[in-house]
Structure 1
Amino acid sequence: MSNKTSKKVFRVVYFNQDEVFELYASKVYSSELYGFIEVENWLFGERSQLLVDPAEEKLKGEFAGVSRSFIPMTSIIRIDEVEQQGTAKISSGKSGGTVASFPRPPVKTDR
């Protein structure tokens, strides 16, 4: 039996408005809202370095004051339990990579 005294860390990678977000959190589970994943306790690097990563700072600002996020399952690319936290990133979802979003029904604008 392993002696795990450290907290769990999850890497959550998902689509958000044509961008791919890679973030870290300590709690990830199925939501009571059907079709959503619930993510709590976003983890961002508390670095006292002179170098500042603009992508991570943008994500810190976007998630400032957010206690819990509900991410649609169709937006999730992958969720991994990792040994240690990495750097949060944003990348373009249109880079010609091998990841494709799940097809969504067209949105009707007239009622």
Structure 2
Amino acid sequence: MSTKPLYKVTFLSAGKIYELYARSVASSALWGFTEISDLVWDTNESLVIDPTEEKLRDEFGNTRVLHLPMQSVVRVEEVERKTQLVIRDCNSGDKIVTPFPMPGKRG
């Protein structure tokens, strides 16, 4: 039984660096774009909810195919398993969505 590869796609959008997991990455029929499809989300029904994944699912959950401009794609990696997703600020590299409030920091 052959399983489809899993890709971690890192891209820039609106001053943020996004990471998504997908089963399919290809050149788009639209010239100058990369086609990302079959996005992968956690299906765990656990009590712990990853706020970053929830934010990404709200934004991209109903997306069938994501067409990204080639110059916005930072990296595409074929990986063995999915890890925690991250959204970072493009300038500082700091995570935008943190799982829990940090002590001593006020936002």
TM-score, structure 2 as length reference: 0.81
Alignment-derived partner of residue 49 in structure 1:
46
Identify the residue that residue 77 of structure 1 maps to in structure 2.
Answer: 74
* Cα distance in structure 1, aligned partners of 2:93 and 2:19: 18
Q: CA RMSD, aligned part only?
A: 1.6
Contact 1:45 1:87 in 2 (8 A): no
Paired AA for residue 51 in structure 1: V
Partner of 1:34: 31
**Structure 2 residue 59 is matched with structure 1 residue 62:** yes
1:72 is aligned with what amino acid? P
What does residue 103 of structure 2 align with?
none
Length-normalised TM-score, structure 1: 0.78
Shift of 1:6: 2.5
Output one character per residue of 1:50-88: Cα deviation in whole Å (capped at 9) or x when no partner: 111111100001112210010001101000111112222
Unaligned runs of 5+ in 1: 98-111
Matched length: 94
Identity rate of aligned residues, in percent? Answer: 34
Unaligned runs of 5+ in 2: 95-107
Q: Which residue of the partner structure matches residue 23 of structure 1?
A: 20
Higher Cα Rg: structure 1 or 2?
1
